[in-house]
Amino acid sequence: MEHAKNVLIIGASACGAKAASRIKRLRPDYRVTILDQGRYISYAACGIPYYLSGKVREFDDLLKTTYGRIRDVGYFKDLKDIDIRTGVRATGIDRASRRVAAVDLATGEPLAFDYEALVLTTGAAPKTPPIPGADLRGVYHLTTLDDAAAVAQEIRDGAGRAAVVVGGGFIGIEAAEALRLRKWDVALVERERQLFPGMLDFEIAALVQEHLYEQMIETEVDAEVRSFAGSDGRVTRVITGRKEYPADIVIVATGLRPNTALAEAAGLERGETGALKVNARLQTNDPAIYAGGDVVENRHIITGRQCYIPLGSTANKHGRVIADNICGRDAEFAGIQGTFICKALEYTAGATGITETQAARLGLDAAAVSVCGFDKAHYYPGSQIVALKLTVETGTRRLLGLQAAGKGDVARRIDVAATAMRLGATVDDVRQLDLAYAPPFSPALDVLITALDVADNVAAGLMRPITAGEAKGLLENGDGALILDVRSDLEFRRQHIDHPRVVNIPLETLPERLGELPREKTILCMCLLGLRGYFAQRILEAAGFPDVRTVEGGLFLWPGKDDLA
Amino acid sequence: MEHAKNVLIIGASACGAKAASRIKRLRPDYRVTILDQGRYISYAACGIPYYLSGKVREFDDLLKTTYGRIRDVGYFKDLKDIDIRTGVRATGIDRASRRVAAVDLATGEPLAFDYEALVLTTGAAPKTPPIPGADLRGVYHLTTLDDAAAVAQEIRDGAGRAAVVVGGGFIGIEAAEALRLRKWDVALVERERQLFPGMLDFEIAALVQEHLYEQMIETEVDAEVRSFAGSDGRVTRVITGRKEYPADIVIVATGLRPNTALAEAAGLERGETGALKVNARLQTNDPAIYAGGDVVENRHIITGRQCYIPLGSTANKHGRVIADNICGRDAEFAGIQGTFICKALEYTAGATGITETQAARLGLDAAAVSVCGFDKAHYYPGSQIVALKLTVETGTRRLLGLQAAGKGDVARRIDVAATAMRLGATVDDVRQLDLAYAPPFSPALDVLITALDVADNVAAGLMRPITAGEAKGLLENGDGALILDVRSDLEFRRQHIDHPRVVNIPLETLPERLGELPREKTILCMCLLGLRGYFAQRILEAAGFPDVRTVEGGLFLWPGKDDLA
């Protein structure tokens, strides 16, 4: 057995605390010290929005173990024999002498810590966009427990006031949900033309935006925030290129940037994303210095490229790998797939792998299919529709990505796809997956299996899909394409696309009524979710119609609801 | 394109209806006829328990499409151009002339149907154990809609009466749930010594049994049902070797046997399980005759052996494969993994692959680990504990099976494991899976990833596990082994194992109190879920204790709660 090492960790959050605990389990004889500049350690930062909404009742709940013990300095010392120094900021790393210089923030006293192995888990800080008024009181980020405490105080001070959230990524949306649940008026502004920019394709993100609208959260996309305006040093309004929003508070959630300054000053390399560069063992270019968590970039398993996607789940996995390597067990971190999930009031949205847009940007030859279906047996109470969009590499048929959104169980389908993709699965490898079936949990053919079957149908030329967005474009551009809605008369009357080139011929009467359809025009077959539309496409093709398409996801995926009657 | 074939299908349930629909989508010009001896077709048999419980409101809901249309003869004819003849029983297959003889059950008229391709989806019938009194009124099976209607009538006739369910597999448990939700007194008797015999290992099944007990369903395992007794031709009591139960109705759910008579009479081969034998294309030994659904056996992907596990999800996949082959697209069915899931009141239990017991029976060199953890972030409201048990092949580290039970989200973990196992994954391939993480959906490290990490720890000799059942045995057998409960004083006082050889030393005081522990004895370290126990094991080992083990799953997996105080 190797001699007992002296390990120093900078940062007592997910990665640092996990690494420390694992080291002490592997080698109770190692000495482990963590420096952290904050007051709170090892807290559940991802839980902050749920504390704000009141779902998580107590501030301390974000600090407790599963058995109710607060994770403070005493907890780490008494239960794990780990020394944590809070309120201590590392100021420099002397790599030659293996010594970290630090300062006690309360007293100003300079400190020094020797190490044999050093772990940098310095995390990330919120990006602050250069918006005039960003320094007004009432403008918050939402990354630390101090942020959480301050915003919680605002909520206690006045229910039902107005908040503006800047940034439509998952933290922004979680913040919007929290404030809406507190009955605040909430507006969300996003610079890109959709929510979840870079994470979801437009039409899947549009489903979430529509849901936020139903839940009275106003969303402005393609928004240019010009300034935060206020009086007496406190924010009162947010001014965009289009509009002015009243704002008692503003939450800025426009992304994170890695805290690399300490590492850079010590000559440690950053990667192409700007985050710290590490090898698979999570070593920096100094083999005695490891780094993990939100300060490093990761290899994206699907694209093979480096990416910066900081997440608590990844940080925990890093912690284990780092501990293993420090303790002489060889371990590598395999990389990430960009998996995420986000609750947005009654909706859930998530993805794994890459979107159709990302595949195109990377120059990959890929196709996408969208499918809507129920998450449980459709007759089981509480069953809900989920929309899935699969990205598949053409030729190899390798799965590249799955996006999902809806009121139903999205997490399960994302996780199954993430597992399949991690193992390099093709559509054919997983089309017949033996997934858990009982009516309270899934349809007999899970909606993900249906999506894979549809991908197979499309690749075989059986289904000729057109996205609802493209179909809408064809209608609007007036090139003569026709929408054939094959739902029942009753369904049609209840809700349909209000356009002169939309024809309702219920599927059951289609064979007799083929004469009513023009053979020279493109016919777009459509129903509620997509299956009957596909059946109609096959009937028309068999009858010799030359250009027939199925509208993917049917009316459920029709973008925007403004043209429905 | 091939000429338009004439396809005959016997049986209009999941596999038959799916095959017919897919054939008509692939080749609208094919002629498709289905014979079915019943009145109802293509119904949701798996939904019957939920109709009985009242969760599914209307009988017709079990017959409706997602858009509310009843799947009757007219639906199949009008929307799909499929001819279904109900009330018609096939009586013989003349393979030489490719003709099926049949009889109209209402008129007795003999009928004949030619085919070019024949599909046998004759399903399965309930096994009826040779119990005296099985023919009394009030004794039901639960496989057809006629059964459902009859039992629903009993429920309407008298709430809160007494029912006995015979059979502790998933149909029996679903029936018990349904009747309990109707406020009946329910007893469940099972011949084997556990619920879910052959599907779950003892200790995982015991969790479900404990939950049924909490929900006032009396369970007798290892039960010999001697007779159903009654008066005036109607059942009133169930008599077992131990006890006599009042019974206004009895539900017999002791398994299914495939309806192979028609096929056998035509010289089609049965496999080792007794069900029809088919090749990967789902052809019988007559290449013009396909078979699928509950009448066939399947290859088990993990064991490589044939097995008989009839399930609606498998039947649907069969339907697609058969349709593809009939229409000239080459398709194979990959096999199954024995995946199942079952709701049991507030509990869910499920599995995929094989159990530890099955692995041992097959002579596989395998090890199992059990882990309990929260299904969501533990601080998120509604988070629940799930117990996972992984079976892993020694050496190759290939995943062989996952079992799961608890009040939390079991389905997602089963499906992820099913996907990993389908793709031949080892523990190492999936330990760092990038699964969807946000507090409302999972802990930062999903409980399945924790289980895989524990499997890695065990294989590396870091964790030395003992199952809670084995630990209990050591206590009872009095060989001197000691249980060291390292939970806090408060947790211990609230609930603990009441035995003189159980010692409470909270983890934080363990380093100072090592002197209180005997070095010559086996020490079994234990906490609530398992993590602190493991930490204690590592501390004792580092201090030179020679025989220390961690009790897997802690108090949560302690079998039976009779020795707790």
Q: What is the structure's pLDDT at B301?
A: 97
Q: Whole-model pTM?
A: 0.97
Task: Give yes or no: B527 in active site.
Answer: no
Report the alpha-carbon distance of residue A195 to residue A188 in Å, rounded: 10
pLDDT of B295 strictly over 90: yes
Nearest to A552 by CA among A458, A481, A479: A458
Domain B6-124+257-326: which topology? Answer: FAD/NAD(P)-binding domain (3.50.50)
Over the stretch A296-321, which tens digit does the pLDDT of each residue have? 999 999 999 999 999 999 999 999 99
Q: Taking the domain A465-557, which CATH number applies?
A: 3.40.250.10
Residue B61: closest C-alpha in chain A: A379
Nearest to B28 among A44, A50, A542 (CB): A542
Tokens 């369903």, located at residue = B217
pLDDT band at B560 (very low <50, low <70, confident <90, very high): confident
Over the stretch B85-124, which tens digit does the pLDDT of each residue have? 999 999 999 999 999 999 999 999 999 999 999 999 999 9
pLDDT of A251 strictly over 80: yes
- Using a CB–CB cutoff of 8 Å, tell me whether B178 touches chain A: no
Q: Name which of A415, A457, A514 to mutate to probe chain B: the one with the most chain B Cβ atoms within 10 A of its Cβ.
A: A415
pLDDT band at A459 (very low <50, low <70, confident <90, very high): very high
Query: Element (H or E) spanning A261, and its range?
Result: helix A261-265
Secondary structure class of B446 (helix, strand, coil): coil
Question: Cβ B170–A438 below 8 Å, yes or no?
Answer: yes
- Using a CB–CB cutoff of 8 Å, tell me whether A20 touches chain B: no
Report the alpha-carbon distance of residue A397 to residue A548 in Å, rounded: 24
pLDDT band at B434 (very low <50, low <70, confident <90, very high): very high
Which residues in B lie closer than 8 A to residue A24 (C-beta atoms)? 535, 538
Nearest to B379 among A64, A434, A445 (CB): A64
Kindly state the average pLDDT of the residues A354-365: 96
- How far is A438 from chain B, CA to nearest CA, in Å? 6
What proportion of chain B, given as a percentage, has pLDDT over 90? 93
The distance in angstroms from the start CA to the end CA of chain B is 75
Secondary structure class of A118 (helix, strand, coil): strand
Q: What is the structure's pLDDT at B559?
A: 82
- How far is B501 from chain A, CA to nearest CA, in Å? 23
User: What tokens appear for A284 in the block?
Assistant: 């920096």
Q: Going by CATH, does the domain composed of B346-459 fall within 3.50.50.60?
A: yes
pLDDT of B244 strictly over 90: yes
What proportion of chain B, given as a percentage, has pLDDT over 70? 99
Amino acid at B431: R
In angstroms and rounded to an integer, the radius of gyration of the C-alpha atoms of chain A is 27
Kindly state the average pLDDT of the residues B490-507: 93
pLDDT band at A438 (very low <50, low <70, confident <90, very high): very high
Mean per-residue pLDDT over chain A, rounded: 95
Question: Cβ B419–A416 below 8 Å, yes or no?
Answer: yes
Question: Cβ B25–A538 below 8 Å, yes or no?
Answer: yes
- Using a CB–CB cutoff of 8 Å, tell me whether A472 touches chain B: no
Kindly state the average pLDDT of the residues A389-411: 97
Would you tell me which CATH number, out of the four given (3.40.50.2000, 3.30.70.100, 3.50.50.60, 1.25.40.10), belongs to the domain B139-254?
Answer: 3.50.50.60
User: What tokens appear for A40 in the block?
Assistant: 């709170």
Q: What is the structure's pLDDT at A159?
A: 66
b/e map B128-151, b = 16+ CB within 10 Å: eeebebbebebbbbbbbbebbebb
Strands (E) located in A46-161: 83-86, 88-94, 99-104, 110-114, 117-120, 124-126, 139-140
Residue A404: closest C-alpha in chain B: B436
- How far is A242 from chain B, CA to nearest CA, in Å? 33
Report the alpha-carbon distance of residue B170 to residue A436 in Å, rounded: 13
The ranges assigned to domains in chain A are: 6-124+257-326, 139-254, 346-459, 465-557
Same fold, B6-124+257-326 and B139-254: yes
Nearest to B434 among A80, A418, A539 (CB): A418
Question: Cβ A50–B422 below 8 Å, yes or no?
Answer: no
Kindly state the average pLDDT of the residues B459-487: 90
How many CA atoms does the CB half-sphere of B324 hold within 13 Å?
A: 19
Residue B426: closest C-alpha in chain A: A423
pLDDT of B159 strictly over 70: no
Query: Element (H or E) spanning A202, and its range?
Result: helix A202-214
List of residues 6+ apart from B464 with CB closer than 8 A: B458, B537, B548, B549, B550
pLDDT of B479 strictly over 90: no
- How far is B321 from chain A, CA to nearest CA, in Å? 10
Tokens 């030859």, located at residue = A365
- How far is B99 from chain A, CA to nearest CA, in Å? 28
Residue B444: closest C-alpha in chain A: A313
Tokens 């994470």, located at residue = A199
Q: What is the structure's pLDDT at B1?
A: 60
Q: What is the structure's pLDDT at A1?
A: 60
Over the stretch B361-406, which tens digit does the pLDDT of each residue have? 999 999 999 999 999 999 999 999 999 999 999 999 999 999 999 9
Over the stretch B349-370, which tens digit does the pLDDT of each residue have? 999 999 999 999 999 999 999 9
Quote the distance between the C-alpha of residue B41 and its chain's center. 25
Question: Cβ A67–B488 below 8 Å, yes or no?
Answer: yes
Which residues in A lie closer than 8 A to residue B446 (C-beta atoms)? 313
- Using a CB–CB cutoff of 8 Å, tell me whether B181 touches chain A: no
Question: Cβ B419–A430 below 8 Å, yes or no?
Answer: yes
